[in-house]
Amino acid sequence: MSQWTDSRLPNNGPIDGQTANTFKLRPGSLATLKQMPSHRFDNNNKPGKPGRRLPMQQSPLSTAIRASILLSAALGLSACIGGDSSNDTPPAVTQGCGGSDNAVTVNEMCVERFVLPSEAKAANTPGTAGVAVSDPKLLTHLGADADLNKALYVRYALAGQMDRQPDAILVVVPGTLGGSHNYLRLAENLMARAAEQDLVVEIWGFERRSTLLEDTDGLDIAEREGSPELAVNFLYGDELGLELPPELDRRAVFYDQADAPFMASWSPQVHSFDIDAVVERARETARNGNVFLGGHSAGAGFVTRYAATDFNLSYEGAEEPGYAKLRGMILFEGTGSSVASTPPDEADLDAVIAAADGGLYAASVAGAPAYINAPGLGPRQVASTEVSGLQMAVEETINGSQSLLQRAFGADLNGRTNNVYQQVANFSDRPVPVTAGSSVGTFQDDDNSDSPVFYAISIGAPGSLNAEGLLEWLDNDQPLPPAALNDNGPALTSMLTTPRFWGQEVEPTNLGRLTPAFYAGQSNFSDWYYPSTGLLLGNSDNGGANLGLDTSALSLPVELGGRGRADIVNQTQARSIDVPVIAFGGSNGLAPLPGSWRGIANSIAPCAAQSCRVGTPRMLSGATDFSAFPQFGGVEGGFEVYISEGYSHNDVLTADDDATNNVIGPLLSFIERNAE
């Protein structure tokens, strides 16, 4: 019988979101990827600082203010910090592997992207019968025969195990604005641990169909040439007034909202069918069909919706529930969906039907957004980490020359420095010259925000100005200032108290080791065009209604008490989900308390797996109160929750496998225990 555990306990203790493709680099790349050292630290000698939070990009004013504060602290500490800012060299641009032009080697991994047909033929979408491609940007980028009804995944496998059948495959779904490479470091750490036990585990990173809209053609060329300057030219050459170099035949296509109203038709069920295509391929590949499905942040919602979906929309013959195709579900810093406390009324159902039958699409055609494009988080901005990542790889350090996003390309233009930060809309310049590592750190480190945010990673701290006047970035293997290791106090006892983050922060993510996730191959760290509108079909503030995880009132045939609209959503299996569940949170993240998972634990059936004990409930105590630390059923009840103290929202995926990491060990044990 298990309860919750935190990172101070042994790793086997229980408890309670840019371009699309893979980590691929092609033969002929600049250099062979270097093997990165694996560091382990004990809790008495943490290499990193506790917590940090910074929006991937804030408004220009707020970013400048925060950066100035951090800079002042860094300069004051420069005398005592000193030294080189990182002991770890970022992996260089990589070579191919596995006999495929679409695969690359990253340390010990071979990484490749695959595209599959999807049964979901979304309305108004290129590739659906009767839909003609006429948008000039789509024609330039994807051609007249563009087909976006595809399912995509990135395969992460150890190069030395490529010829062996996987004992298990973990399919993972990224969260808001996240790409498959969010999972690159987790894949590397988990597979290395499994190999120590002679187990073959693969991670397949699901990519939403929206990643097909990411134009990375010129970025692939830049990687092949080992030239981050080419990447700048491809992405931003028009704004910078640069000549098109002979290596490129055009510049990047960036889609405006008006170019992609069809994305409003990409409902939760469309994505569930896309995930199903990948799950079915994984079941064909893994020994005994041992497939697990995990999701980070909003990706946890994709996972629970998939598990609750009956893929037999006809209601003729046997049910085809998603959960029955899985050995277990993994929820990373995301609570997933839960069954609504009250059933929808007729007006709610009418609203969802109207939204699905053209309402959301019509709104997008009329000017409503089809994808997320918040200030500083638009496609042009999130694509920029490709440049920084490639620059760090080519320079083989996170602190080389001035960031190419800040470097001037010729004389001033329009009265401003002719660089990306000054010339491209919605970027935020830094108040001092920065290295590529500092351009990322001052953009994404968790300490850039006073409270947890969804893009936060704990990746070190600002360093000092070097001889060239550039602000360097301190990686997590360097001495860090005390201000970077905040103590957020003891954990709360009630879910009703805010803020909920707590604990001694750590800096578990190494920027040098994370570097390939930003740029390598046709995949990267972000989903440039996160398809938000279609996902809001069930949100009452956006034309639909809040139906929760059980949509039977809408989905079931009329004779069974529903509206007969399984074509919209068919989540009728929530109360039957009987597979084991494991959840991971960070005390400095968005799911910092075990009580965060009370909703999903109360929504599903008792665990029926062989690893569970008959009669043990998902929750042993605290199921109906607001306690922050309820007692879950643990291994025997098929519901475990683990909290890593000091981790921010993305650290549960990106952290080193050290003594602070309360993810890798429990996750591997969960897979071993539930594989057949």
Cβ within 8 Å of residue 658, ≥6 positions away:
39, 40, 41, 47, 508
Share above pLDDT 70 across residues of the chain, in percent, rounded to a whole number: 84
Compute the distance between CA of residue 516 and CA of residue 185 in angstroms, rounded to an integer.
9
Compute the distance between CA of residue 438 and CA of residue 473 in angstroms, rounded to an integer.
5
Compute the distance between CA of residue 646 and CA of residue 653 in angstroms, rounded to an integer.
14
DSSP-derived letter for residue 457 is: B
Other beta carbons within 10 Å of 633: 25
Compute the distance between CA of residue 243 and CA of residue 504 in angstroms, rounded to an integer.
50
- Sign (positive or negative) of CA dihedral 584, 585, 590, 592: positive
The pLDDT of 77-96, averaged and rounded, is 48
Compute the distance between CA of residue 50 and CA of residue 452 in angstroms, rounded to an integer.
12
pLDDT of residue 544: 60
Other beta carbons within 10 Å of 324: 15
- Band of pLDDT at residue 543, cut at 50, 70 and 90: low
Cβ within 8 Å of residue 149, ≥6 positions away:
117, 118, 120, 121, 122, 125, 127, 128, 209
Q: How far is CA 334 from CA 176, 652, 674, in A?
A: 11, 11, 21
pTM for the structure as a whole: 0.87
The pLDDT of 339-364, averaged and rounded, is 92
pLDDT of residue 42: 28
Kindly report which listed range (119-128, 147-156, 512-521, 657-666) carries the lowest average pLDDT score: 512-521
DSSP-derived letter for residue 448 is: G
How many residues are there in the chain? Answer: 676
**Residue among 368, 373, 471, 370 nearest 426 (CA):** 373
Tens digit of pLDDT for each residue in 118-130? 999 999 999 999 9
- Band of pLDDT at residue 94, cut at 50, 70 and 90: low
Instruction: Map residue 671 onto helix, strand or coil.
Output: helix
Instruction: Map residue 114 onto helix, strand or coil.
Output: strand
**Residue among 35, 10, 22, 30 nearest 512 (CA):** 35
The pLDDT of 79-103, averaged and rounded, is 58
Supply φ then ψ for residue 669, to 5 degrees: -60, -40
**Residue among 461, 456, 508 nearest 483 (CA):** 461
Compute the distance between CA of residue 632 and CA of residue 3 in angstroms, rounded to an integer.
5
Give the burial class of 100: count Cβ atoms within 10 A of its Cβ; 0-12 exposed, 13-18 middle, 19 or more buried. middle
* In contact, 303 and 294? CB cutoff 8 Å: yes
The pLDDT of 135-153, averaged and rounded, is 97
**Residue among 299, 309, 319 nearest 273 (CA):** 309
Compute the distance between CA of residue 254 and CA of residue 135 in angstroms, rounded to an integer.
12
pLDDT of residue 10: 29
Compute the distance between CA of residue 271 and CA of residue 293 in angstroms, rounded to an integer.
14
Helical residues (DSSP H) of 355-410, grouped into ranges: 360-365, 379-382, 384-395
Mean of the per-residue pLDDT values for the chain? 87
The pLDDT of 365-376, averaged and rounded, is 90
In the numeric block, which tokens belong to residue 473? Answer: 């970035």
Buried b or exposed e, range 450-476, using 16+ CB within 10 angstroms: eebbbbbbbbbbbbbbeeeebbbbbbb
Instruction: Map residue 151 onto helix, strand or coil.
Output: strand
Compute the distance between CA of residue 453 and CA of residue 466 in angstroms, rounded to an integer.
30
pLDDT at 269 over 80: yes
Give one DSSP letter per residue of 530-556, joined into a string: --HHHHGGG-GGGTS---BS--HHHHS
Q: How far is CA 314 from CA 16, 311, 566, 646, in A?
A: 37, 9, 8, 48
pLDDT at 62 over 50: no
Half-sphere exposure of 99 (CA within 13 A, CB side): 2
**Strand duo 291-296 + 328-332: pairing:** parallel
Domains in the chain: ranges and CATH: 109-215+253-371+529-674 (3.40.50.1820), 379-491+510-518 (no CATH)
Compute the distance between CA of residue 430 and CA of residue 384 in angstroms, rounded to an integer.
15
